[in-house]
Amino acid sequence: MPNSSAYRPNFEHHKTGYHMPRPGFSICVCPDIQLTKNYINSLLQENPAPEGAWEKHVYWSDEGLPPVFWENLTLQGLFASPKVLMIRNAQNLPIDAWRKLSTSLGQYNPLAWVIIFLEAPYDRGKPKIPAAIKKLPCWKLAETKAWIWQSAGLTERAMRGFIEQWAAQNHIQIEPKIVHALSQVLPQDASAAKNELEKLALAAGDARIIADEHIKDISHDADMDIFAFINALQSGKTPDKVWNKVLSSQAAGDAMIFSFLAMLLREARILWQLYAGETVRLPSGIVQQKKRLATNLGPVRLSKIWDLALEAEMGIKTGERKPEQAMEILVAGLLALFSPKK
């Protein structure tokens, strides 16, 4: 690892006197990839390429950093095009690769912008960053320069800000009380939540105002499938329709699986709120059905849903399990949890 005397990053001015108009590199610490993409899109808009447009290149840590990455990082000259080099799941990079990266990031290249993704789930509200990475000169420099962006994802509090930002970008009016109501029922996954908000915008029509009556228009198809899935398992029935949806989600890859997990956790939260006697904004008929199921399941089995879902999510994001393996284990756990006792 380079010592402090050897690591003298030249970020204020390029050797030719070129002033740096953007971060020398960026680090994003967030488990929700859609939120990270939103942030990066804003970052790229605020920092246009020196010439033309940024070319985006994505590299995955479990495949290592190939020679072409290092070539793109150092390439300069008349015919070189500006590139954004994105490293996904960088928390899984070997420390030797991190040390080499840290050394390379010490020299500013106006044509190469490295963006590092750390995508592990937060632990007790804090990001899980290996200690060896935090000791590297590049990490310390990024902290000093405020080149690190962190988000725990769409918690209920963060959801309100997400809704307000979406509304401002799309010129939609939403009163604070409606924002609060939406934050309680939207899935805590940026991609899924965005889809639901876009549906509400269509329902609002030319008025461009989302009101209380539009909340009932949130699509309950997906989460009603999960509700039907849990209800069928608890009743000893075979949930064929939902089982087919689970299999199709599995075949669709990471995006659909994470959407399924988000909707499962949303369903668990609604059931828990109803068990605790809290008010949930859903059509009255659906509320009564879910309240009966929540009472039948009880707090122990309801809380276990979080354990199973988070275990699946962590397995995928840390690379310990392939998405299909995580999904199989999740479904097996749900079957065991909700099957009627004999």
Average pLDDT score over the chain: 80
Q: Do domains 156-217 and 221-338 have the same CATH topology?
A: no
Q: How far apart are CA 300 and CA 341, in angstroms?
A: 14
- Confidence class for position 86, pLDDT limits 50, 70, 90: very high
Domain 156-217 has CATH 3.30.460: no
* pLDDT value at 13 more than 70: no
pLDDT at 71: 92
Q: Residue ranges per domain, the chain?
A: 25-150, 156-217, 221-338
- Confidence class for position 283, pLDDT limits 50, 70, 90: low
Q: How far apart are CA 123 and CA 103, in angstroms?
A: 29
Mean pLDDT of 102-109: 91
| Phi, psi (rounded to 5 degrees) for 116 | -105, 125
Q: How far apart are CA 76 and CA 66, in angstroms?
A: 18
Category of 277 on φ-ψ map: left (φ > 0), alpha (ψ -120 to 50) or beta: left
- Confidence class for position 14, pLDDT limits 50, 70, 90: very low
Query: Which of 10-14, 164-168, 311-315 has the weakest average pLDDT?
Result: 10-14
pLDDT at 234: 67
Q: Domain 221-338: give its CATH code.
A: 1.20.272
**Per-residue pLDDT tens over the stretch 144-186:** 999 999 998 887 778 899 999 999 989 999 999 889 888 877 8
What is the CATH topology of the domain spanning 25-150? Rossmann fold (3.40.50)
pLDDT at 212: 79
Mean pLDDT of 266-294: 80
CB-CB contact of 211 with 177 (8 Å): no
- Confidence class for position 113, pLDDT limits 50, 70, 90: very high
pLDDT at 74: 87
Residues 6+ apart with CB under 8 A from 38: 190
Mean pLDDT of 188-194: 80
Pick the most confident of 92-101, 267-276, 330-339.
92-101
Query: Which of 42-46, 132-136, 181-185, 301-305 has the weakest average pLDDT?
Result: 181-185
CA-wise closest residue to 264 among 327, 297, 217, 306: 306
**C-alpha R_g of the chain:** 23
